[in-house]
Amino acid sequence: MPEVETLDADVVVLGTGPAGMAALSAAADEGASVVVLEAMDHIGGNAVWSTGYLAFVDSAMQREQGLVDDEETFVADARAMVDEARDRFGVEWDEDLVRLFARESAETYRLLTERGVRFSRFIPRPRQHTVDRMAAVEDSWMLGRAFAPDTTRPGVTVRYGTVADRLVVTDGRVTGVRAHRRDDDAPLEVTARRGVVLATGGYQSNPELRRRFQPEVVARAPYLGIDTCRGDGHLLGQAVGGDLVNMTFVPPLVIVSSSVVEDAIAVNTAGERFHDEAGPYEERVDRLHEQPGRRAWYVVDDEVFREKATLISQMPEPPVSAGSLPELAAAVGVPAAALEGTVARWNDFLAGTTDDRDPDFGRVVLPPGRRTCTRAPFTAVPMVEGINFCCGGFRVTTDLQVLDVFGDAIPGLFAAGDCVGGLNPVSDLGGIHISGGFTLGRVAGRAAARDVAGGGGHGSVLHAGLPSMLDTRIALVRLDPEPTS
């Protein structure tokens, strides 16, 4: 048996996505010693690979632009999203958690900008966010750089390439974590004097876990993102009694970065646009379903293709490029005149200066600088239904303590980000997962450092008494085309 390396700290954080980064930072700011375990070789989780849209309520950026926003407006927008989702998924939203996010997210904006994260503009989503509140980060890697842990700081230890395997429970309290190094399987055991924060993201890249909660056909939809989001935190917490909600809620979307969508139009086999390309995620999927053979393509010109080559190369199906629009039409099998006409009409609209709303489908998310689709060669990227994130996770208190099926807080166990189930059902608003991860992660890290669980807990217990019902690269995770069992 290899020797087990041991570490100890006040707080142990699992994962370094937005939730883990914020938990680490907040716990350390409280004076706690912190050990962080991260399966990948770098910080940032899915956030640094993401589009980088973050929603904040009543942020300084909104105030600077004269935009009025508040908790009640956000809750009303969130409630509308939840009501829409109810027909498709089992939804249990936690209004207290949504309100906590609304109150704390402006502070998240302040902290991010203080750490050098820059936001370029608001992305309008009037049908979801009734006030402009979703801001686009200039470069998603800024999020990781802003929270790169200062390992020279006493009491902060970060272990990359280390996978948490089990929680250790002593006398009913979570007191540590068993883990292993990915390169040589060397075991590690970390004692947590005050608490463990589950911040391991979602379960998108775990085909088997998705099959437990989704119909087979839906569970086979591809996912584009880091392949360490295997629901480890969900399983770790479940094994010690944590109550999971919203696990069926893995919203389908048309795979492509919203950054590409901003600059693209989508055409069907008739060579015509058929929807608001930047509209609500569910609606995009519905419109794609209505197309013959569910076939359609995002069309971009050479300037956009070069600028977003990495994002486009990550699409599930390869792009098709041609020297002219008629050649592109022939290559993908759509009528040339129709495609040329569609692109010309879009360009005419963008060339106008007065109308900010596309007259055909009401699209308001326009290419930056209203740049037109003009420069050959042109590229068509097949639209493919898949997923980016999931919404199921643990029930928690407003101190982010994990609750068991009876509504009792599990001493020493906290969760944040995509490990939490009560906030993410409102994620179709846009920009909730990353901002929510940073915001709730900060609360969780602070609460764990203050040992709210250790002294018997003073976190408010929500839903008490309600019935209950594992390569550091971005990868396209496909499930087997045929069921294996």
Ligand X SMILES: Cc1cc2nc3c(=O)[nH]c(=O)nc-3n(C[C@H](O)[C@H](O)[C@H](O)COP(=O)(O)OP(=O)(O)OC[C@H]3O[C@@H](n4cnc5c(N)ncnc54)[C@H](O)[C@@H]3O)c2cc1C
> Where on the chain is the footprint of ligand X (CB under 6 A)?
14-20, 37-40, 45-47, 49-53, 163-164, 199-201, 224-226, 228-229, 232, 257-258, 388-389, 417-418, 431-434, 437, 470
The minimum distance between CB 286 and ligand X, in angstroms, equals: 20
| Contact present, 373 and 266 (Cβ < 8 Å) | no
The minimum distance between CB 45 and ligand X, in angstroms, equals: 2
Nearer to ligand X, 159 or 275 (CB): 159
Residue type, 25: S
- Angle (CA) 420-423-426 rounded to 5° is 135
State residue 219 phi and psi, 5-degree precision. Answer: -65, -15
CB atoms within 10 A of CB 170: 11
Nearer to ligand X, 81 or 432 (CB): 432
Nearer to ligand X, 350 or 440 (CB): 440
Region of 423 please: left (phi>0), alpha (psi -120 to 50) or beta.
Answer: alpha
- Between the alpha carbon of residue 127 and those of residues 45, 70, 75, 316, the distances in Å are 29, 17, 14, 28
The minimum distance between CB 259 and ligand X, in angstroms, equals: 8
The minimum distance between CB 199 and ligand X, in angstroms, equals: 5
Nearer to ligand X, 52 or 176 (CB): 52
Q: Return d(Cα 177, Cα 98) in angstroms, integer.
A: 29
Tell me the β-bridge partners of 224.
476
Nearer to ligand X, 108 or 379 (CB): 108
Q: Return d(Cα 88, Cα 249) in angstroms, integer.
A: 8
Helix ranges, 65-194 (H) = 71-85, 95-114, 141-146
Closest residue by Cα to residue 16 from 44, 49, 48: 44
Would you mind telling me the total number of residues written for the chain in this entry?
A: 485
The minimum distance between CB 366 and ligand X, in angstroms, equals: 18
The minimum distance between CB 66 and ligand X, in angstroms, equals: 25
Nearer to ligand X, 176 or 437 (CB): 437
Residue type, 146: A
Closest residue by Cα to residue 365 from 287, 437, 257: 257
Closest residue by Cα to residue 401 from 390, 392, 388, 410: 410
Nearer to ligand X, 248 or 258 (CB): 258
The minimum distance between CB 484 and ligand X, in angstroms, equals: 23
The minimum distance between CB 304 and ligand X, in angstroms, equals: 17
The minimum distance between CB 416 and ligand X, in angstroms, equals: 7
Closest residue by Cα to residue 203 from 441, 54, 393: 393
Nearer to ligand X, 44 or 412 (CB): 44
How many CA atoms are closer than 13 Å to the CA of 183, on its beta-carbon side? 7
Nearer to ligand X, 46 or 397 (CB): 46
CB atoms within 10 A of CB 324: 13
